[in-house]
Amino acid sequence: MAGGGGTRLRPISTAQRPKPFLPLLPEGETLLQRTVTRLRGAELGSDARISVVVSAGWAPLVAAQVPGVQLVIEPEGRNTAAAIALAALAPDADPESVMVVLPADHRIDPAREGLFRSVLRDAADGLATGSFGVASPLVTLGVGVTRPAIEYGYLRPVVARRERVLGLDAYPLEAFEEKPAADRARVLQGMPGVAWNAGMFLWRRRAIVDALERFAPEVATGIRRGLATGDIATAYAALPSRSIDYAVMEPAASAGLVVMAAMEVGWTDVGTWPALLDVLGASGIDGAVVEAGVSVVTADGDVVIAQGPAGLTVSITGEGTITLGEPIALLRGARPYLPIVQALLDRCAAAETRS
């Protein structure tokens, strides 16, 4: 699934070119390209195919960046339940095939990509085709909690029913928890088996279709109607904008239909300035987007990234107060890492020029 609002990493990320389509990491590929490359090396079978679900406005970017993939084009973004339903209900899809759902904007530690591929294979072979007494469960992949994060959702497994399945630690899932307050995040960090929700899923295609029809019938019915009439745009306009977690996974977990597998693969969603700076080698730097017109107090050594008439610029600030007419990224105390920041901007500027 490729898209996004382009807001959390402004000004390098925009609505016209959100995070998946940017070469944020030193390897030079965009996050979308790296996700596809990672899958193409996974030996998932000769009949495996890679599809990218993308809104129409970004389809040319996908076609240019990852030629050879199948495009599943949404007329507009209606959140992840609609995107997954559109892919799952594709008329040429085998209902018994295992479908892997991944965001296009995650990062896996390059040294652990082989392990990540093994996780996908083991989850497909050992869990999605039947596990924990469920004939066709919905499988979610969880990431070990290392801090009380409030920007991630959490997965709470039934720890007492843990099983070793192929190379995975697997559990029935008790519940999903949405992004928590700080106090709750600290409690969750201390609970055995609890994991971050990486937004990665595996299931038989018919299992997710059945779950959509049971828990989100308005989404399933709307997509079916649009595919049958050939007017997917009208169908999409009438769909509720709901995440797959809220629409399907949360009630499915309550119904005992969800299985969780744990993985330690160096995952991050690179979703904030501190997360991006951390993977670039500037750990411990606080950073955030400051909206246009908001006054902010700066300290000596802070770094500001702004979008000017000539493109992205980076500057070091002193003590004072600044107010700008466009959103900026303010990176606290990042002066020692200025070369890292400048290299990031250079990669993104070069990508923009090539497009």
Mean pLDDT, rounded, of the chain: 91
Q: Picking from 123-127, 177-181, 249-253, 350-354, which range would have the lowest pLDDT averaged per residue?
A: 350-354
Q: Which three-class secondary structure string do you get for the chain?
A: CECCCCCCCCCCCCCCCCHHHCCCCCCCCCHHHHHHHHHHCCCCCCCCCCEEEEEHHHHHHHHHHCCCCEEEEECCCCHHHHHHHHHHCCCCCCCCCEEEECCCCCECCHHHHHHHHHHHHHHHHHCCCCECCECCCEEEEEEECCCCCCCCCEEEECHHHCEEECCEEEEEEEEEECCCCHHHHHHHHCCCCCEEEEEEEEEEHHHHHHHHHHHCHHHHHHHHHHHHHCCHHHHHHCCCCCCHHHHHHHHHHHCCCEEEEEECCCCECCCCHHHHHHHCCCCCCCEEEECCCCEEEECCCCEEEEEECCEEEEEECCCEEEECCCCEEEECCCHHHHHHHHHHHHHHHHHHHHC
Judged against a pLDDT cut of 60, whether residue 46 lies above it is answered with no
Question: Residue 47's pLDDT band (boundaries 50, 70, 90)?
Answer: low
Task: Specify the pLDDT at position 28.
Answer: 82
Q: Which of 87-96, 151-160, 207-216 has the lowest mean pLDDT?
A: 87-96
The answer on pLDDT for 352 being more than 80 is no
Q: Which CATH class is domain 19-263?
A: alpha beta
- Domain range list for the chain: 19-263, 281-354
Asked if residue 23 has pLDDT above 70, the reply is yes
Confidence label for 44 from pLDDT (cuts 50, 70 and 90): low
Quote the pLDDT of residue 243: 94
Q: How confident is the model at residue 6 (pLDDT cuts 50, 70, 90)?
A: low
More confident residue, 15 or 81: 81
